[in-house]
Structure 1
Amino acid sequence: MTLREDSLDPPPQAHRGPNPSMPAEEYEPNFCFPVKDLESERVKLTPFIPSKHAEAFFALTSPSYDYLPFGPFATADEFVSILVEGRIHPNPECVLFAVYDKSKTPETGVPDGTIAGAIGYCNSSAVNLVAEIAFVLISPQFQRTHVTSNAIGLLLHYALDLPSEGGLGLRRVVWQASPMNGPSIGAAERMGFKKEGLLRWHYVLKEDKQTGNGRERRKGDPKPNLLGRDTAVLGLCWDDWEDSEKDRVDAVMSRRS
């Protein structure tokens, strides 16, 4: 079960930016805000570096791409070329993090534990002090655990905490999902997001996507064989964050059952 969706997938593109096989120490995120490791007691987010993380990510049980406008991907190279290098890295509004489950440290002997998926931001603006949580690709074997809530919580803290607290001081964080994707909307609401509206006929879906809005296209539609999708928009803003939602998120992140 994949929890989060984002903007429609553009046509596949050739590699742009650094070669995905570039050594990890030479690979730099291309994001409009500073990028750093984000860490809680049980989860760590670190910038996604293809040469370091792609094979380990792709070796996980694949998340569902049913409600996502991109994927699925046949190989790790395809995941990198189409999504990471073709879409995320060239766009300074986007960044991707690898998600590590630190609770697996005793099993692995590795301080960071084991990779559990990926998550990131998109549609980010330093001018308007806004970001959108996106690319939530948590492997099914780590779902219904602390991993997703802690990963989302870390991104919320980094976005909405003030610079004096180690955050970016943004005014707004967005979550978008298909109205049919109840788990995605439920996850957002548990983390303090509030429903703000519905964008009707927001996307024309790709041919292999069958999770449209369930409504017929009109006669003469230029793309009669492609379904349309609505988008539910949820938001979490700085005033709600400081009033009550930061405490709510911290409680969810610390929950043990």
Structure 2
Amino acid sequence: MASAPLLHWQPAKAPSRHALSGKRVRLEPLDPGRHGDHLWQALHGPEADPRLWDYMAFGPFASRPAFDAWLQGNQASEDPLYFTVIDLASGRAQGLLSFLNIVPTHGRIEVGNICFGRTLQRSAQATETLHLFAGYAFELGYRRLEWKCDAQNIRSRQAAERFGFAYEGLFRQHMVIKQRNRDTAWYALLDGDWPAIGLACQRWLAPDNFDAEGRQRRRLAELRRRDPAE
């Protein structure tokens, strides 16, 4: 068997704590003092999604002090590195996500710990959040952006596939989460895939892709099938 071709490879850079700005959202490094009140309301308030924590390794939290302690621990972490999603229209923090399993030497990084409040879920803001995160990862020189979730977490799997992550397989009996077995579904997006997928996201997020009521005119999957040169 022939050996793999040599790569003209330089290790990627580690992500840093600086804001990523879009037209609908701004991703800010997690700051419990500034973001805590809004995050508590979005993730634990009366309108919070009761299914949000079903497949998380943490939460739900029994009290605000317990939630604040969790946020403070996340703020201090380098891996995972947490960001808060700020909805620009309301100015409110609506969710969290992080980079994790950061391996610059091999150009591998993961997006995960995605905790989106109900209003952020299945929204243009959520798509822009992932677009900003993926774009930043590939700008830093990563070759591979991973997405992993409980195989039973259908909503997470659908979100990964909708965005353009490719399914790579099932790791059986991979973890024990909250005293339950977790088989882990693995997805990845490669640097060579990103130009076409990133362009499709830009087209989907464009104002002319939404009607007066904010409904999409073309689905993201449809735009990904188009020739990027069009």
TM-score tier by shorter-chain length is: 0.7 to 0.9
Aligned to 2:134: 156
Match among 70, 82, 95 for residue 96 of structure 1: 82
Give the 4+ runs in structure 1 shifted more than 6 A. Answer: none
How far, CA to CA, are the matches of 2:99 and 2:128 in structure 1?
15
Match among 80, 90, 97 for residue 119 of structure 1: 97
1:89 shift after superposition: 4.1
- Equivalenced residue count is 191
Q: Deviations over 1:76-102 (max 9, x none)?
A: 3312323x344x345422111111111
What letter matches 2:89 in structure 1? Answer: S
Aligned to 1:69: 57
SS of residue paired to 2:35 = helix
Q: Deviations over 1:134-165 (max 9, x none)?
A: 121111133232121111111001011xxxxx
Share of identical aligned residues, percent?
A: 29
Contact map agreement 2:98 2:113 (CA 8 A) in 1: yes
SS of residue paired to 1:140 = coil
Match among 192, 198, 202 for residue 170 of structure 2: 198
Q: Deviations over 1:174-225 (max 9, x none)?
A: 001112111111111111100001110011121xxxxxxxxxxxxxxxxxxx
Aligned to 1:237: 190
1:119 shift after superposition: 1.5
Query: RMSD between aligned alpha carbons?
Result: 1.9
Give the TM-score normalised by the residue count of structure 2. 0.76
* Stretches of structure 1 lacking an aligned partner (at least 5 in a row): 1-30, 105-112, 161-166, 207-225
What letter matches 2:171 in structure 1? Answer: L
Structure with larger RCO (C-alpha < 8 A, sep 6+): 1
What letter matches 2:88 in structure 1? Answer: K
SS of residue paired to 1:116 = strand
What letter matches 2:204 in structure 1? Answer: V
The structure with the largest strand share of the pair is 2
Aligned to 2:204: 252
